[in-house]
Amino acid sequence: MKKKLFIFTNESIFSQNEKFFCDNIDLKSSPEGLNKKFEVNLFGRKSKKKRVHEIKLKNIKIFSNIFSYLSEAIRSTKNKNTKFLVISISPYTFLICLLLRLYGKTPIVYLRSDGYGEYKAILGNFGKLIYHLMFNLITLFSNLISCRRYILRGKKGRVVYPSQLDSIWLRKPKNQEVKNFKLLYVGRIRTEKGIFSLANLIKNKRDISLTIVGAEKNTSYKINQSNIDIQLTQSNKLRLIKYYDDHDIFILPSFTEGHPMVLLEALARRRPVIIFEEIEHVIGDKKGIFVAKRNFLNFFGSLNYIKKNYKKIQKEMMKNKLPTNKEFIEEFVKAIDDFS
């Protein structure tokens, strides 16, 4: 008989016709993968807006307010032979961790991004202070799993490397000749993602075009430039692969990242990647990633270097060893099991 695994997240989940949808692909694939080993129960916040990825689980509950969410967390503590996984640290999940501990449970907290960077990007130093207080209190009594060693900030914990890659992503990519600069960004239009900064950087540059894949209807209006094409969120894997293959360079302009899935996707399709200084840590041992500064001269210099050395860079990128989703889930299960 499977052990129960209760997963609590701050992410918004949309429900329609008894089906559940989210925007973050990790929130779909991780619970689905873990469900092969555990009996997963997923809890999240109720969204009124349509989301993209269908979460294929039997046991999902969503809540429209913090009080009903916390009440469910308390009820969950009555279950025996159960593990409790909390995804990321936010005000919601912070309170859930405190409640679980109050009722004698030790939560496993999965740090899938750098909360310090995210909160600072949104709220400045005040946001960084808020996260600092939540992080240091929660880590006193929780078991930790992280997607990056540095995110643990010296705390003890297990490190796993998230991935959505399967055999389809790893098929031989289409060859590309660089003429004009066709740039691609896959992700949401949010301040901490640096997309507004990137839009300003390439404003009025006719030889540079940018396609944004993943915008929501209520945010796409925020960027209106002739050289930027905005595609609303879609989840078809083959269609997304075609976007990568039809563009020259992938841009990840974020101010903060943990272990971005889109980076692995771009590398799998052998599209050189430009990031900015704030997230230099994501490179690791990967080939084909270039760091630029947030000024046009430096950024354009990176573009030109990639254009002149495109085939050489792609050849180097073939050396990359990219983790697969199967390997990630196996590591994740082992990390959870190791916490008795």
Domains in the chain with CATH codes: 4-163+326-338 (3.40.50.2000), 181-317 (3.40.50.2000)
Q: Token pair for residue 49? A: 């807006």
Query: Given this model, what pLDDT does residue 232 score?
Result: 66
Name the residue among 233, 223, 232, 229 with its Cα closest to residue 199.
223
Q: Token pair for residue 271? A: 């599209």
CB neighbour class for 102 (10 Å; exposed up to 12, middle 13-18, buried from 19) = exposed
Residue type, 152: L
DSSP symbol at 144: E
Residue type, 49: K
Q: Could you give phi then psi for residue 76, rounded to 5 degrees?
A: -65, -25
Secondary structure element (H or E) that encloses residue 223, with its range: none
Determine contact, residues 110/121, Cβ cutoff 8 Å: no
pTM: 0.80
Pairing between β-strand 208-215 and β-strand 181-186 as defined by DSSP bridges: parallel
Largest CA distance in the chain: 62
Half-sphere exposure of 282 (CA within 13 A, CB side): 29
Query: Given this model, what pLDDT does residue 157 score?
Result: 93
How many CB atoms within 10 Å of residue 185? 26
Q: Could you give phi then psi for residue 191, rounded to 5 degrees?
A: -55, -50
Please give the Cα distance from 228 to 223 (Å, whole number).
8
Query: Given this model, what pLDDT does residue 51 score?
Result: 84
Runs of H (alpha helix) within 108-253: 115-138, 195-201, 237-245
Query: Given this model, what pLDDT does residue 258 score?
Result: 80
Pairing between β-strand 249-252 and β-strand 181-186 as defined by DSSP bridges: parallel
Question: For the chain, percent helix, then strand, then coil, each to nearest 5?
Answer: 40, 25, 40
Q: Token pair for residue 47? A: 């969204």
- Please identify every stretch of the chain with a pLDDT value under 70, giving residue numbers as ranges: 215-223, 232-235
Q: Could you give phi then psi for residue 135, rounded to 5 degrees?
A: -60, -50
Determine contact, residues 109/142, Cβ cutoff 8 Å: yes
Q: Token pair for residue 8? A: 């609590």
